[in-house]
Amino acid sequence: MTTGEPNCFGSEEFLAKSGSIVMSVRGRAEFIEVFHNELPEDPSDIIEMLRAELAPLESWCEFALAYYDQHRHEQFRDILLSVVDAFDVYELQDLYRQDRLQFKTGRLRILNLLAASSTSTFAMHRVRSDVRDTLTNATLHFIGRADEIDTNYPDTMLCKAIFWMNQCSSDGRALENAAYYASAVLRLKNCSMAAKLANGIIAFHERSYCQALGLFLASLQYKQPFRGTIYAAIGVCAMCLDEMRVASCAFERALALEPTNVGGLVFIASLRAANVPFYRERAGNLNP
């Protein structure tokens, strides 16, 4: 952690891209810079610093997400839970007295990050029934608090869609509920890559393979770290539509981006076993 005077190259955006977080010191023309590789195992000092400097909500999110990117999910939650407890503190409310909209969006972002974290943990891990209940209750708690601020916020609706997608094995109407919220997000925020993916997954489960394929293709226009998985999903849709040439191109592209992509490896092996010819040229609509 370093402190110093601000300079023309010391913008928060520039330094964040180079692996650090920059935060101004309250009441002084100085800044604090924390490098991502210096984040402590125990986030208590980070939390105390953020509280002492009365840091804006976006700074809390930055530190939490820096931990999350390092797969340190417990620290991610500790930081966000600490600021949730301070939403009603007078000093924090006074900080945003002149910008109530920023205070609203900051709180909604934090609550939705916590909701998404809980429902993702539920989806990614086989957990005991009591842990599932805890994660479900946590997700519903944060979604409920977000709804108290704004019932039509797109990110909250997306969290609801993902939550219901994870309930499909235990609730017969879960897919219908997921589809309702996912389509609502696209109506409110058509540029949402995550909403397109969610709608694509739902369309696939409803066996609307052509619609799912279109949504997965549309999501490729956005930059994200899991393009290989999306190409694999495109390949599966193409196989279901009996478009084997497109499927083979998609799976090859998935493996070029992610050599260990399980979907790509399995389905290419399936295509080879079925003696389906592979086309090395890419389909025109599958350019990266």
DSSP states along 17-59 = HTTEEEEEPTTSS-EEEEEGGG--SSTHHHHHHHHHTT--HHH
Report the pLDDT averaged over residues 10-20.
49
- In the sheet that holds 2-4, the strands lie side by side as 2-4, 31-35, 20-24
Rounded to two decimals, the pTM is 0.76
**Ramachandran assignment for 228, one of left (phi > 0), alpha (psi -120 to 50 degrees), beta (any other):** alpha
pLDDT category, 271, cuts 50, 70, 90? Answer: low
- pLDDT over threshold 70, residue 238: yes
Give residue-wise pLDDT tens across range 156-177.
999 999 899 888 777 788 889 9
CA distance 122 to 114: 13
What percent of the chain stands above pLDDT 90?
34
User: Between these two residues, 122 and 51, which has the higher pLDDT value?
Assistant: 51
CA distance 206 to 46: 46
Cα angle 195, 197, 203 (rounded to 5 degrees) comes to 100
Phi, psi at 87, each rounded to 5°: -55, -35
Q: What is the pLDDT of residue 128?
A: 67
